[in-house]
Amino acid sequence: MSILVVGSVAFDTIKTPFGEAKDILGGSTSYFALAASHFTQVNVVAVVGEDFTDRERAAFEGRSIDLAGLEVAPGRTFRWGGEYSFDLNERTTLFTELNVFEKFAPRIPDSYRRSELVFLGNIHPDLQKDVLRQVERPRLVALDTMNYWIERTPNELRRVLPEIDALVINDAEARQLSGEHNLVKAAEAIRRLGPKLLVIKRGEYGVLLFNEDRRFAAPAYPLEDVFDPTGAGDTFAGGFMGYLAQQGDLSDGALRQAIVFGSTLGSFCVEEFGCDRLRSLTRGEIAARFREFKRLTHFEDL
């Protein structure tokens, strides 16, 4: 099954305690597409400016990534800058330059309209809703959002939630959206707003899945070297959805495996600055780390 992803493509400037990088390829769609393309065909809808050259485009080439929906608009590409604290858990946004992203109105090419899985990246909830009007009965729609939309467009967000199947957000966003501190109560409250599946990302503490009355928890892979956490959440979503699309199976068992594949891809993403590690990654490395997750979390019954 193929996946449609709609969101940002960016030039990121990143500072971590281990170094800096200026104007490197980033954005939610870039991370998502590179991760998911290890499993299935990914159809990209995003906007870039005239400064987005063949060099950046080449990062997606030779992979199962269709760029027919990557619009080039007059002006500069979206730019974002972030700086991490020493323990990498806290991030300060240094700047956000929307540029061509400000007027982004996703147009879904005809060839994408039958994508079976849809990932609505972190954009205005009305635009997310508009994407759903342009596609034909996907089997699974997942949505990401952020504090900015939860605070400024709560009503628009609440109107799109009943139309999706899965919400993929972090713990702070889950608390903010539900008004509940406890994540189990937050999950119940959010599921009442529409999505039957809820995935809560907790950074280095792992991931929680709420599926009807079933729950699943996976840790993050304990890594010795973390260089840059940027994009780990979008990469998680790409691995999660990519695996589901590859399997064509949305059962609880497949969802649990998909959570671990998402965590696997996320763990590789943070090993290098930007998207680089997602490009060098091999099928063998992904399978080996998936098995390491199995060993890490296995224990005997009583």
Chain positions contacting ligand AMP, by CB under 6 A: 8, 10, 12, 26-28, 80, 96, 122, 230-234
The distance of closest approach from Cβ of residue 214 to ligand AMP in the complex, given in angstroms and rounded to an integer, is 26
Of 108 and 168, which CB lies nearer to ligand AMP in the complex structure? Answer: 168
Task: Report the alpha-carbon distance of residue 191 to residue 261 in Å, rounded.
Answer: 23
- DSSP three-state, residue 8: coil
Of 226 and 250, which CB lies nearer to ligand AMP in the complex structure? Answer: 226
Q: Which residue is nearest to ligand AMP (CB)?
A: 26
Burial 233-251 (b: 16+ CB within 10 A, else e): bbbbbbbbbbbbbbbeebe
- Edge to edge, what strands does the sheet with 19-26 contain? 19-26, 10-16, 79-84, 91-97
Of 10 and 157, which CB lies nearer to ligand AMP in the complex structure? Answer: 10
Q: Which residues contact 189 (CB under 8 A, 6 or more apart)?
A: 178, 179, 180
Structure tokens, 197: 């599946």
The distance of closest approach from Cβ of residue 12 to ligand AMP in the complex, given in angstroms and rounded to an integer, is 5
The distance of closest approach from Cβ of residue 49 to ligand AMP in the complex, given in angstroms and rounded to an integer, is 14
Task: Report the alpha-carbon distance of residue 122 to residue 128 in Å, rounded.
Answer: 9
The distance of closest approach from Cβ of residue 96 to ligand AMP in the complex, given in angstroms and rounded to an integer, is 6
Of 27 and 125, which CB lies nearer to ligand AMP in the complex structure? Answer: 27
Task: Report the alpha-carbon distance of residue 185 to residue 204 in Å, rounded.
Answer: 22
The distance of closest approach from Cβ of residue 285 to ligand AMP in the complex, given in angstroms and rounded to an integer, is 21
Of 72 and 88, which CB lies nearer to ligand AMP in the complex structure? Answer: 88
The distance of closest approach from Cβ of residue 205 to ligand AMP in the complex, given in angstroms and rounded to an integer, is 15
Helix axes 28-36, 232-247, angle to 10 degrees: 40
Of 1 and 142, which CB lies nearer to ligand AMP in the complex structure? Answer: 142
Q: Residue 214, Cα to own-chain centre: how many angstroms? A: 23
